[in-house]
């Protein structure tokens, strides 16, 4: 009996510490997902850098916002427009009420906004590019 008790305890401890087959896969999936760049990092930031930060570089330019990747989220998300203070630049989860989308689509006039379609002095973003920005906003506008 003295030998059986330690053996049973060892078996019980081993069973408690063992992982189910799916646990290792779940852990690997979670690690892989966290290693993937976010939609903002992979798609939106490069787009802003190429098409927007040309004019919105330091934050001293038109609109008083810097759209370089390191500053873009803070300049856009839940920030009132200086051009149309009744409108918010990016409303997380709501692309249709985000002034950024209105400016990119050229519909700002219909919503109380002003000024030209963005990017100013350049061709408009493609429907696919705007769709990616809409998705980023719809998904919560996270960095």
Domain locations along the chain: 38-138
| Helices (H), ranges, the chain | 4-17, 21-35, 39, 45-51, 69-76, 99-105, 127-138
Cα 48 to Cα 69: distance, rounded to the nearest angstrom: 7
User: What band does 23 get if pLDDT is binned at 50, 70 and 90?
Assistant: low
What is the distance, to the nearest Å, from the Cα of residue 84 to the centroid of all Cα atoms in its chain? Answer: 23
**For the chain, what is the mean pLDDT?**
84
CA 138, CA 132: separation in Å to the nearest integer? 10
pLDDT digits (tens, 9 = 90+) for 54-109: 899 898 888 889 999 999 999 999 999 999 999 999 999 999 999 999 999 999 99
The answer, as to whether pTM is greater than 0.85, is no
């Amino acid at each position: 009996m003295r030998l059986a008790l330690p053996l049973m305890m060892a078996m019980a401890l081993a069973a408690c510490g063992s992982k189910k087959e799916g646990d290792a896969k779940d852990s690997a999936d979670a690690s892989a997902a966290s290693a993937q760049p976010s939609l903002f990092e992979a798609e939106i930031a490069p787009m802003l850098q190429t098409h927007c930060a040309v004019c919105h570089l330091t934050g001293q330019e038109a609109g008083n916002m810097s759209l370089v990747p390191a500053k873009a989220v803070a300049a856009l998300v839940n920030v009132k427009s200086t051009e149309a203070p009744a409108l918010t630049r990016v409303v997380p989860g709501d692309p249709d009420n985000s002034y950024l989308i209105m400016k990119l689509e050229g519909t700002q006039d219909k919503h109380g906004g002003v000024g030209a379609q963005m990017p100013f002095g350049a061709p408009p973003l493609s429907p696919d590019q705007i769709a990616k920005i809409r998705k980023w906003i719809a998904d919560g506008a996270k960095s």
